[in-house]
């Protein structure tokens, strides 16, 4: 984090031909809120690695390599082998107060709030949920960006996805916007338009790819940086740097991060307008099959069936450990984890639901298409490639995937081999296991088809990967993946998608007449 911030400051000074102090003031004016940064250390013409070691924000543990993103500089008046300079006593006093900021949760007034936020993130439940039904009227902190928006947060029996209460004659019990009685014939709208319409929700149990992890490249590309670049920063952080509202499975808003939004939810909604708001994205950054902590909001007796996408596409083979192969999920562990999760789903999903298991991705695509390209941090001076970034993260043991983000071709191949073994476990589960309340299907992660489709559209493979982390699927990849998944379902599992509601146009017409949307 320190290396990133200092790199941006140094590049801002270079791009605007200003002092480092002026560059920091410029950055602080861009970012919501005010932050004090020590500037006189950076003025010494040291690169970001040296500055961050001087600030004690980076360190070298005994017996561990010295991790650096930039080449070691030659520091005058010091031996050539010395990589970083120690700050003098006055700087140390400032560093101490700077470091204390990271312990903000230690303050008594904030301790309870911090614990509540940790609980929300750990359990994937809305921070603001007054009636406790797991749905919220607040967008972030696991609110309606992640689950359908609650339409009455003071009534635990009102929430998206439930079957209508008495055909919603008096109020909208399932938040799909359809309620009341048609004055022409006295028939409730919900009964007229949604009875027998195969209404169903869509749920995702996934990892950071499913949550749609994204760090905006304009946050660190100084040639594009302005106050507008950081306008979405508070929202991004309270959504854990995830953007589920634009994601492949549960996206429902027009994308503001490039590309376009196309999702399984939107297509199901277009197919049947009664499915409005019935979505749940229960994904988490770093999630493994062994730790899928379910917080599904589904009542087997009161709610509609659902399509559940079970997709942990990489974390079972991805970790930041030096001996990465030893820390990968084994086929035996995968079988146990997934069967246990499916048994949980069988005890919670209404009858008539569907579960789709998604295979793991072949992550060799990442190195093959990115390693020699310049990272956003390296575009100004053409000095940081993705290969350098991967090595830096691997040295820090925080690489999102040491097995794929490596120059070691043998290791990349072994990682893909394990991923294929785990995908085969999922395929066999879908073939052989039977459950009372849902049928089960398997599909490969559609990376190859996505790349082929994007190539036909004139795109380049690297554009399918998030530019900042160099690891996750981009917004373009998410939208194209939706189209491929939908076509497969239409041709191979038409029963999963339900029938098209013939009353969709009438529903929309009534909404427009009443001034709704």
DSSP string of 182-227?
Answer: -TTT--BHHHHHHTTS---EEEEEE-HHHHTB---GGGT-GGG--G
Burial of 401 (C-beta count, 10 Å sphere; 0-12/13-18/19+) = buried
Percent helix / strand / coil, the chain, rounded to 5: 45, 10, 50
Q: Which of 41-45, 71-75, 335-339, 373-377 has the lowest mean pLDDT?
A: 41-45
C-alpha span between 467 and 324 (Å, rounded): 24
Cα–Cα dist 5/258, whole Å = 23
Annotate 97-110 with b (16+ C-beta within 10 A) or e (fewer). Answer: ebeeeeeeeeeeee
| pLDDT value of residue 45 | 64
Q: How does pLDDT run across 331-354, given as a tens digit for each residue?
A: 999 999 999 999 999 999 999 999
Q: Lowest-confidence range among 12-16, 92-96, 481-485?
A: 92-96
Helix (H) or strand (E) holding 451: helix 447-456
Catalytic annotation on 208? yes
- Give the CA distances from residue 67 to residues 57, 203, 246, 253, 484, in Å, rounded to whole numbers and listed in that order: 12, 40, 35, 40, 41
Helix (H) / strand (E) element for 354: namely: strand 353-358
pTM: 0.91
Task: Assign 292 a pLDDT band (cuts: 50, 70, 90).
Answer: low
Summarize pLDDT for 392-444 with one digit per residue, the tens: 999 999 999 999 999 999 999 999 999 999 999 999 999 999 999 999 999 99
pLDDT (tens digit, 9 = 90+) per residue, 354-404? Answer: 999 999 999 999 999 999 999 999 999 999 999 999 999 999 999 999 999
Percent of the chain with pLDDT over 70: 88
Output the six-digit token pair for 177: 């916007």
Beta-bridge partner residues of 353 = 438
Q: Which of 7, 199, 208, 474 is catalytic?
A: 208
Confidence of residue 138 (pLDDT cuts 50, 70, 90): very high
Token pair for 308: 């559940």
pLDDT confidence of 270, banded at 50, 70, 90?
Answer: very high
């Amino acid at each position: 984090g320190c290396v990133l911030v200092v790199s941006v400051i140094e590049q801002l000074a270079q791009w605007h031909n200003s002092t480092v102090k002026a560059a920091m003031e410029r950055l602080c004016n861009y970012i919501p809120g005010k932050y004090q940064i020590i500037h006189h250390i950076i003025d010494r013409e040291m690169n970001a690695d040296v500055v961050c070691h001087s600030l004690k924000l980076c360190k070298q543990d005994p017996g561990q390599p010295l991790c650096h993103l930039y080449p070691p500089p030659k520091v005058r008046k010091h031996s050539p082998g010395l990589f970083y300079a120690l700050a003098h006593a006055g700087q140390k006093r400032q560093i101490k107060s700077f470091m204390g900021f990271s312990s903000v949760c230690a303050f008594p007034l904030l301790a309870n709030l911090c614990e509540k936020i940790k609980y929300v993130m750990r359990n994937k439940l809305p921070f603001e949920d007054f009636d406790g039904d797991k749905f919220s009227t607040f967008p972030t902190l696991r609110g309606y960006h992640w689950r359908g928006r609650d339409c009455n947060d003071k009534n635990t029996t009102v929430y998206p996805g439930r079957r209508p209460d008495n055909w919603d004659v008096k109020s909208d019990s399932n938040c799909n916007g359809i309620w009341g009685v048609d004055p022409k014939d006295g028939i409730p709208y919900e009964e007229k338009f949604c009875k027998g319409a195969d209404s169903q929700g869509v749920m995702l149990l996934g990892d950071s790819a499913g949550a749609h992890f994204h760090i905006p490249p304009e946050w660190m590309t100084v040639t594009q940086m302005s106050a507008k670049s950081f306008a979405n920063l508070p929202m991004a952080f309270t959504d854990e740097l995830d953007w589920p509202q634009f994601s492949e499975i549960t996206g429902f808003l027009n994308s503001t991060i490039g590309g376009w939004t196309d999702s399984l939810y939107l297509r199901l909604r277009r197919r049947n307008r009664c499915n409005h708001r019935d979505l749940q994205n229960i994904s988490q950054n770093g999630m493994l099959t062994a730790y899928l902590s379910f917080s599904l909001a589904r009542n087997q007796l009161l709610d509609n069936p659902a399509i559940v996408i079970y997709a942990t596409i990489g974390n079972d083979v991805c970790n930041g450990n030096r001996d990465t192969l030893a820390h990968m999920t084994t086929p035996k562990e995968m079988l146990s984890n997934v069967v246990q999760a499916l048994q949980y789903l069988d005890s919670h999903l209404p009858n008539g639901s569907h579960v789709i298991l998604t295979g793991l991705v072949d992550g060799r695509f990442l190195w093959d298409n990115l390693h020699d390209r310049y990272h956003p941090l390296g575009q100004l001076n053409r000095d940081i490639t993705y290969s350098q970034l991967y090595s830096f993260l691997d040295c820090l043991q925080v690489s999102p995937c040491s097995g794929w983000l490596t120059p070691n071709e043998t290791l990349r191949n072994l990682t893909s081999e394990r991923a294929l073994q785990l995908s085969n476990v999922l395929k066999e589960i879908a073939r052989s296991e039977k459950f009372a309340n849902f049928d089960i299907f398997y599909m490969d992660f559609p990376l190859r088809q996505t790349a082929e489709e994007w190539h036909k559209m004139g795109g380049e493979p690297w554009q399918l990967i998030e530019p900042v982390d160099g690891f996750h699927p981009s917004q373009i990849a998410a939208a194209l993946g939706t189209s491929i998944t939908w076509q497969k379902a239409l041709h191979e599992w038409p029963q999963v998608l339900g029938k098209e509601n013939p009353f969709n146009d009438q529903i929309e017409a009534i909404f427009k007449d009443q001034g709704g949307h």
